Structure 1
């Protein structure tokens, strides 16, 4: 697939004002974004994800390494490179609060050199697509957070750039609006065929929309893989085991030492252990823990797993998962 963004060996450090301590936020991060794909760029708080996003958007300059957008070096040809990307960043909704919904769309289109006549049909389409038609003459500062977020994404789409970066598109939205926005984004992904980068802690958004995901932890890339492959990989390791009795204190301690991410719940006559095995042979160690005290295994089943569980396993495990 053709590359539209190339990130190579970028680094970013910050110096604490009081202590002068040097903090490395991003450490030798490299990845590609392919034309037409929907990429999830993920990471826990403090992992370096936000700094990476800001460097791609030209809001921060990397201390080392390079970023090319559509073949243009963002350091050498910043303005030309950034013409190929539009972004909706968390806390920066790229809207004018004292303009109406329609006026915002027309104003930001004008900033890109497009006249009202040029974008008339597209504005109408976006107003209907994002269910903003009834609000088109209302001031933005009177809209709900969900309506503001929908408008911000519509403004980004109106720019007609090859790449759209959405940072936490569903953050702070209620369940109904979050679901509605996911459905709108799915429709856009299907119809627009544009390159979209989504950074989110809302894992259903990632699972439903993204083709591939890059996970950054502690300043480095720990995973770069297709979402469906990660789900398949972890699904083969996820088990629910029903025991015919309770676990002893010693067994509980052994489980948490050997499998720190496992969970279990039980009553006086049975216990259910939910566990993800990193390696197939780990199941022998698990059964040795049960066998040592004669605990009866009544059933063992593979369990379904969602992307939120995958993300937590990777981040808590603090290791990259090699794909076959």
Structure 2
């Protein structure tokens, strides 16, 4: 299958204020997004994620590299490429706050060259599906944050582009509305066969609705992998061992040496707990050899359940990439 969005060798740097120095925001970023996919684009603050999003949307021009949307270079043929993508940016910047809900839908449809008559039926459906019908004549600046987010997504949907880019679509909204937005996004992909790129700090959202994630850190991609694969990998690696006695000084030294990312706590003089990631059978045997040195009793072994937020933090800290296919 041909990608609908392809990002290839992107570079972007900014000049620092009042100096001649430059900061490299994005360095050699490449990934592809396929039709009908929901892709999570993630990264800590300052990682280069927002810069990448703005380049895909055409709000920034890359220094080097290419972005194609449905095979069209968005630098050489910007307007033609952007006809195939719509965006919901953080802070609802794609809404007019002094227009009503219905007026926003009509206005932005008009911006895309569509008449009121042409979109009347779609607007009615979106008002119903997004639970905005009762608020259709309300000014946007009087709506709750959740209502504004739903309207922003409806505006993007009304553009009828193949690709929708969502920047923090659940930021600042309550849990109930967050679940509602998630279900709306799943339904969009299922019914309208849209492709969605979603950037969010809400890891529950990413885990719930995305199939694959691209994680950017320090301007480079560190992971491009299916979320199910990440969850499976980390689920079998993270163990918690409750010991019937504390480790000796020599055992603790070996533990630090063999498993740098371990956690060790003595709960009292009769018991201790080790939390450790084990990459495979070899490391499992190494750990038990270490315990055998002082015949340390093992009272229980639990495989820790990890969520996607924990995985994200491990990857960003450089603790979790072994065993995964790294981006080329």
Same fold (TM over 0.5): yes
CA distance in 1: counterparts of 2:177 and 2:163, whole angstroms: 24
Contact (CA 8 Å) 2:311, 2:320: kept in 1 or not? no
Residue in 2 aligned with 1:94? 94
Q: What displacement does 1:257 show? A: 6.1
Q: What displacement does 1:236 show? A: 1.8
Q: What displacement does 1:300 show? A: 1.8
- Judging changes above 3 Å, is the alpha-carbon distance between structure 1 residues 317 and 158 closer, same or farther for their aligned structure 2 residues? same
CA distance in 1: counterparts of 2:221 and 2:14, whole angstroms: 19
Q: What displacement does 1:147 show? A: 1.1
CA distance in 2: counterparts of 1:101 and 1:131, whole angstroms: 12
Q: TM-score, normalised by structure 2?
A: 0.91
Q: What displacement does 1:264 show? A: 5.2
Contact (CA 8 Å) 1:234, 1:305: kept in 2 or not? yes
Matched, 1:33 2:66: no
- Judging changes above 3 Å, is the alpha-carbon distance between structure 1 residues 180 and 257 closer, same or farther for their aligned structure 2 residues? farther
Matched pairs, number: 324
Q: TM-score, normalised by structure 1?
A: 0.92
Comparing 156-165 with 278-287, greater Cα deviation is found at 278-287
Q: What displacement does 1:261 show? A: 4.2
Residue in 1 aligned with 2:236? 236
Secondary structure of 1:221's counterpart equals strand
CA distance in 2: counterparts of 1:215 and 1:256, whole angstroms: 28
Deviations 1:290-315 (A, max 9, x none): 34444321222323322112211111
Matched, 1:140 2:166: no
Residue in 2 aligned with 1:219? 219
Comparing 5-14 with 289-298, greater Cα deviation is found at 289-298
Unaligned runs of 5+ in 2: none
CA distance in 2: counterparts of 1:205 and 1:157, whole angstroms: 19
Residue in 1 aligned with 2:15? 15
Comparing 106-115 with 269-278, greater Cα deviation is found at 269-278
Deviations 1:20-70 (A, max 9, x none): 322111111111111111111111111111111111011111111111111
- Judging changes above 3 Å, is the alpha-carbon distance between structure 1 residues 165 and 251 closer, same or farther for their aligned structure 2 residues? farther
Secondary structure of 2:106's counterpart equals helix
Residue in 2 aligned with 1:177? 177
Secondary structure of 1:301's counterpart equals strand
- Judging changes above 3 Å, is the alpha-carbon distance between structure 1 residues 252 and 191 closer, same or farther for their aligned structure 2 residues? farther
CA distance in 2: counterparts of 1:179 and 1:266, whole angstroms: 40
Secondary structure of 1:3's counterpart equals coil
Contact (CA 8 Å) 1:37, 1:195: kept in 2 or not? yes
Contact (CA 8 Å) 2:314, 2:320: kept in 1 or not? no
